[in-house]
Amino acid sequence: MGASFRPSTALLGAFLSSFMIFCLYPKPVLGITRHYKFNIKLQNVTRLCHIKSIVSVNGRFPGPRIVAREGDQLLIKVVNHVPNNISIHWHGIRQLRSGWADGPAYVTQCPIQTGQSYVYNYTISGQRGTLFWHAHISWLRATVYGPLIILPKLGVPYPFAKPYKEVAVIFGEWFNADPEAIINQALQTGGGPNVSDAYTINGLPGPLYNCSAKDTFKLKVKLGKTYLLRVINAALNDELFFSIANHTLTVVEADAVYVKPFNTETILIAPGQTTNVLLKTKPRYPNATYFMTARPYVTGQATFDNSTVAGILEYELPPNGFHSSISIKELSLFKSILPALNDTSFATNFASKLRSLASARFPANVPQKVDKQFFFTIGLGTSPCQHNQTCQGPNGTMFAASVNNVSFAMPTTALLQAHFFGQSNGVYTTDFPSDPTIPFNYTGTPTNNTMVTNGTKLVVLPFNTSVELIMQDTSILGAESHPLHLHGFNFFVVGQGFGNFDPNKDPKNFNLVDPIERNTVGVPSGGWVAIRFLADNPGVWFMHCHLEVHTSWGLKMAWIVLDGKLPNQKLLPPPADLPKC
């Protein structure tokens, strides 16, 4: 008896003391588990007078919205009912130690085959704001995308006045033809793929396109209120300007990170980026409706879709006002004014306004020292035409794109599995060049030799390496703005400029105080951008241009971040239902 009495007193003591500690601190708000089911199925959709069968989630276009709070766990079961292989990426989610749920096909998982399913399992930690999810294989994200909204923890306010209402505004790109056929054909012929037929807001092209007046996104607002627009660019290949006629927008967040608020008439948003803006509605009934429009920002030489998507901002009639007899048709319609299609000075100016909040509550943890430096050239190039034929790329070659002149060859098995199980042989090598093998005048007169090399080369980073990466655009086949997206991390954009990066002069101007923190950044056309991140998330992390055509051409690579020493610094084991190749 006595012998068994002692341990239980000790246990009781331990219980009491932990109970007391528990009472001394504010009650931690624990996240909940949220379940979603994504049935990938074909769905007939009509746009621009064309009926088309699209790959969809649950028959919806755009797909369903995922809403969670910071700290929540998400369990999303994806069931594939279509002939295509599929995988879904939760764009911008940090996936701490849960890389198996990241989604890029052949990087963190084999795709989900027809008739198979996979449960994406991850916990949202240290993030709140607007992100999105999309298919991450071939060009299926053309129709398979939707908002991913992370609310702050219960009871935690926004760092701005609580909006009256929140609305997702998600841009897409519509193709009358099958996007899979378009990219497959382009990769066969070596030429540029056909461009889209329309841009869409929440899946709707709007009145500036044929047959589309009935397919217009309408935002009905009340007088004198503040609306939070969660703007997402899910378009395949185009950066977009966005503006609402006669209204000013206040930018408060980018890529699910709060920013120092600033006012602007127009925002610029690249594929892969998200921007939260506040819209203050007019205090008095304006007798008018307003266009909200988006059209591309284009710097490259390829043909592009130069059309404009329009939605309509409509004011609700004030109750029992004398306006009640006015019909919508009698109201004047104001058009929004957007920058010129190639307005790079707008792009530069807009980028310079984006600053981290850098407050006590939301600090900007910019790495102050750098362990490892990288310099990557980003740009287009060519590959030889196969089978001695003439291809439709430049001078009979095939279009390619590369990082440090390596055009990334996709493996046929998943990189993360190969890494985790120590089976990299024949799958990938770890000799990705840290700098261009042959330096040249990157933004000067392009060299005659435009050929890229091919390989599945990765960079290995020890856990907690502090990385500085300069991404330098090249003028090979034309300078162009490239929105580069890094999986598994946010990074800080510490500097950017035009021409060639100067390692002696440019770092002196880096902003290490309040640089914007994000997951996708535009490498300026004919310029460079410098980013820093702390490699504190073990796994294999894809990095690529979020212009899908450039990804298809090989503008992609991956980082391996090794496990740390502590148990909570290691990649979790793969889930049992991880798809097989």
Q: Which residues bind ligand C2O (CB under 6 A)?
A: 89, 91, 104, 134, 136, 272, 485, 487, 542, 544, 546
Q: Minimum distance between the CB of residue 150 and ligand C2O, rounded to whole angstroms? A: 16
Residue 89 vs 355, nearer CB to ligand C2O: 89
Residue 383 vs 551, nearer CB to ligand C2O: 551
Which tokens belong to 166?
A: 């929140």
Q: Minimum distance between the CB of residue 148 and ligand C2O, rounded to whole angstroms? A: 11
Task: Say how far apart CA 216 and CA 115 lie, in whole Å.
Answer: 35
Amino acid code (one letter) for 419: H
Residue 233 vs 344, nearer CB to ligand C2O: 233
Q: How many residues does the chain have?
A: 581
Rg (C-alpha) for the chain, rounded Å, is 25
Q: Minimum distance between the CB of residue 107 and ligand C2O, rounded to whole angstroms? A: 8
Residue 98 vs 243, nearer CB to ligand C2O: 98
Residue 47 vs 134, nearer CB to ligand C2O: 134
Residue 255 vs 343, nearer CB to ligand C2O: 255
Which tokens belong to 165?
A: 């209402």
Amino acid code (one letter) for 328: I
Q: Minimum distance between the CB of residue 145 and ligand C2O, rounded to whole angstroms? A: 9
Q: Minimum distance between the CB of residue 491 and ligand C2O, rounded to whole angstroms? A: 14
Q: Which helix (H) or strand (E) holds 249?
A: strand 249-254
Q: Are 563 and 419 a contacting pair, CB within 8 Å?
A: no
Q: Are 290 and 333 a contacting pair, CB within 8 Å?
A: yes
Residue 139 vs 227, nearer CB to ligand C2O: 139
Ranked by CB distance to ligand C2O, the top (closest) residue is: 91
H helices, E strands: number in the chain: 5, 33
Surface-to-core class of residue 16, CB atoms within 10 Å of its CB (0-12 exposed, 13-18 middle, 19+ buried): exposed
Residue 104 vs 515, nearer CB to ligand C2O: 104
Compute the CA torsion angle 567, 569, 574, 575 (nearest 10 deg): 80
Q: Minimum distance between the CB of residue 71 and ligand C2O, rounded to whole angstroms? A: 23
Residue 487 vs 532, nearer CB to ligand C2O: 487
Helix (H, G, I), strand (E, B) or coil at 503: coil
Residue 477 vs 523, nearer CB to ligand C2O: 523
DSSP 8-state secondary structure symbol assigned to residue 106: T
User: In Å, what is the CA distance from 454 to each residue of 54, 383, 384, 407, 457?
Assistant: 32, 9, 11, 5, 9
Task: Say how far apart CA 268 and CA 251 lie, in whole Å.
Answer: 11
Task: Say how far apart CA 250 and CA 230 lie, in whole Å.
Answer: 12
Q: Minimum distance between the CB of residue 89 and ligand C2O, rounded to whole angstroms? A: 5
Residue 128 vs 136, nearer CB to ligand C2O: 136
Q: Minimum distance between the CB of residue 100 and ligand C2O, rounded to whole angstroms? A: 15
Residue 31 vs 104, nearer CB to ligand C2O: 104
- Per-residue HEC secondary structure of 312-348 comes to EEEECCCCCCHHHHCCHHHCEEECCCCCCCCCHHHHH
User: In Å, what is the CA distance from 329 to each residue of 234, 285, 288, 398, 490?
Assistant: 32, 15, 10, 51, 47
Q: Are 48 and 305 a contacting pair, CB within 8 Å?
A: no
Q: Are 141 and 135 a contacting pair, CB within 8 Å?
A: yes
Q: Which helix (H) or strand (E) holds 11?
A: helix 2-24
Task: Say how far apart CA 69 and CA 112 lie, in whole Å.
Answer: 27
322 φ, ψ to 5°?
Answer: -80, 0
The CA-based angle 568-569-571, given to 5 degrees, is 95
Q: Minimum distance between the CB of residue 519 and ligand C2O, rounded to whole angstroms? A: 8
Q: Minimum distance between the CB of residue 559 and ligand C2O, rounded to whole angstroms? A: 13
Q: Minimum distance between the CB of residue 103 and ligand C2O, rounded to whole angstroms? A: 8
Q: Minimum distance between the CB of residue 546 and ligand C2O, rounded to whole angstroms? A: 6
The residue with tokens 């709060």 is 258
